[in-house]
Amino acid sequence: MDLGLAGRQALVTGSSKGIGFAVAQRLAAEGVHVTLVARSADELAQAAQRIRSAYPVQVGVIAADLSDPVARARVIAERGGVDILVNSAGSIPAGTIEEVDDERWRAAWDLKIFGCISLSRACFTQMKARRSGVILNVIGTAGERLDAGYIAGSTGNAALMAFTKALGSTSADVGVRVVGINPGPVETDRLVYLQKVKARKRLGDESRWRELYSAMPFGRAATPDEVAATVVFLASDLSGYTTGTIVTIDGGIANRGTLP
């Protein structure tokens, strides 16, 4: 399906790997020129080369720590004026309120929460002036299904959900759409690592990590590309009446009585 995105410009954070890279790759497949942003210059260079070798689009890279306000300002100065912003950077540590100290909590929120808000604010102002643009925030289902064992993540994700809904509730008045995407378990490198740790503890063998998927919907986690396909569709004009809402991709986990 041609989503009609060819020729547009996108900025994708956290795009050296995982969901962010899958989104950038999908956008490139639709003819979108993409700028990849992440901390590691080496990983960004590899990701950019993979996309360039597969699709005839312009691929830019900006190595930046988005937890730093100065770095965020530099990203906007170098690559503002995009048609599509995808905020996909950051992960938040697990732990109870007693286990996650102030320093780790603030560091994680500086990247994922304030990084998203700051880039959204800057891009929104530019999009408002043009009366067109889409901001897509990749958040996470912990903001829906609150978990005291992941309290920093649940609280942060809930805040980003509220931010997305609030901004998107009136953004249509100036021609801009703002949408959130809440993935559940996604088979990224980070999830595989965590599954191996669990398998080593529970089963005595980290190579049996896929057995831990048995209780999940469809007996597996989502793939990054499944999430990316939804993000890219939401970025297109085919989803042009979608704003101020959250799309959940978790196999129904958020609505189950018990977690898998």
Q: Is 9-186+222-251 a domain of CATH 3.40.50.200?
A: no
240-257 tens-digit pLDDT: 999 999 999 999 998 886
Q: Can you read off the two tokens belonging to residue 152?
A: 């920093």
**pLDDT score of 141:** 94
Strand 133-138 to 84-87 pairing: parallel
**pLDDT score of 258:** 59
pLDDT confidence of 192, banded at 50, 70, 90? Answer: confident
Question: Phi and psi dihedrals of 153, rounded to 5?
Answer: -70, -45
What's the rounded mean pLDDT across residues 64-82?
96
Q: What pTM does this model have?
A: 0.93
Is residue 78 within 8 A of residue 104, CB to CB? The reply is no
Amino acid letter, residue 171: S
Domain coordinates in residue numbering, the chain: 9-186+222-251
Q: Can you read off the two tokens belonging to residue 225?
A: 């590309």
Instruction: Return d(Cα 213, Cα 244) in angstroms, integer.
Output: 32
85-131 tens-digit pLDDT: 999 999 898 899 999 999 999 999 999 999 999 999 999 999 999 99
Instruction: Return d(Cα 36, Cα 197) in angstroms, integer.
Output: 30
CA dihedral (185, 117, 160, 92) in degrees, to 10, reads: 50
**pLDDT score of 259:** 57
Which helix (H) or strand (E) element contains residue 189? Answer: helix 189-202
How far is Cα of residue 68 from the mean position of the Cα atoms in its chain? Answer: 18
Beta bridge partners of 248: 182
11 Cβ contact partners less than 8 Å away, ≥ 6 residues apart: 34, 35, 37, 75, 79, 82, 84, 85, 86, 119, 123
CA dihedral (112, 237, 230, 7) in degrees, to 10, reads: -80
Does the pLDDT value for residue 199 go beyond 80? yes
